[in-house]
Amino acid sequence: MIDGTSVPLTGPGTNLRADAVRNRALLLEVATRIATERGAAAITMETVASAAGVGKGTVSRRFGDRNGLLRALLDQSEIRFQEAFLSGPPPLGPGADAATRLRAFGPALLRHEREHRDLYLAAEPPPDRRFAVPADQLRHRHLVVLLRELLPGADVELLAHTLLASIDVVLADHLVRDHGMSPERLEAGWHGLLDRLLG
């Protein structure tokens, strides 16, 4: 466990006025409907503003840009996933040893991102912002904590990045969609990496 605090994909929350909270909820409801009916690719600032009957500036004020809007749509499911590995039951959460939790993390992340695949792919940040997403930083810190316990003296910062890169949502989608790999093969690959890493 890091500090027991989950973080949304969109970063720390801010105190919003009641009307701003209502606007944000309405915009997320509209965006969810568009995603359900037409897919995440159909979500744009303009389509959400038009469907909600507000100006594009209102959407921009609430979410910044399209990436911020898409990541806000993922916040609730992301927070549930974080709570599972920060404070949930073993084997993913505390109560299991570090190796068991590490083995559970990769498959859990693969399944979580596969369940919300369209939104995660659509919300993939541009390269200059890729490593600044709070939820991704939390995943990295979580692996660093587990690896430090298992491999004292190792470069756990780099190892954590390497492990996360092996199950990146874009890579996983490419391997399943374009190379016919099964999700089970990707999960087995995570365990194979850990077998070699941990001996």
Give yes or no for residue 15 having a pLDDT over 60: no
Give yes or no for residue 17 having a pLDDT over 80: no
Higher pLDDT, 12 or 169: 169
Q: How far, in Å, are 122, 138, 145 from residue 7 at the CA level?
A: 20, 8, 17
Whether residue 142 contacts residue 2, with contact meaning beta carbons closer than 8 Å, is answered with yes
Q: How far, in Å, are 6, 155, 166, 196 from residue 150 at the CA level?
A: 23, 12, 19, 13
Q: What is the mean pLDDT of residues 130-159?
A: 95
Give yes or no for residue 195 having a pLDDT over 90: yes
Q: Which of 57-70 are b and which e, b meaning 16 or more Cβ less than 10 Å from the residue's Cβ?
A: ebbeebbeebbbbb
Q: What is the mean pLDDT of residues 98-107?
A: 98
Q: What is the pLDDT of residue 6?
A: 67
In degrees, to the nearest 5, what angle opens at C-alpha 119 toward C-alphas 4 and 86?
A: 10
Question: Which part of the chain is CATH 1.10.10?
Answer: 13-64
Top-tier CATH class for 13-64: mainly alpha
Q: What is the mean pLDDT of residues 147-159?
A: 97
Q: Which CATH number fits domain 73-198: 1.10.357, 3.30.310, 1.10.8, 3.30.70?
A: 1.10.357
Give yes or no for residue 8 having a pLDDT over 80: no
Question: Which part of the chain is CATH 1.10.357?
Answer: 73-198
Give yes or no for residue 12 having a pLDDT over 50: no
Q: What does the pLDDT look like over 51-99, one tens digit per residue?
A: 999 999 999 999 999 989 999 999 988 999 999 999 999 999 999 999 9
Backbone φ, ψ for residue 136 (5° rounding): -70, -35
Q: What does the pLDDT look like over 30-55, one tens digit per residue?
A: 999 999 999 999 999 999 999 999 99
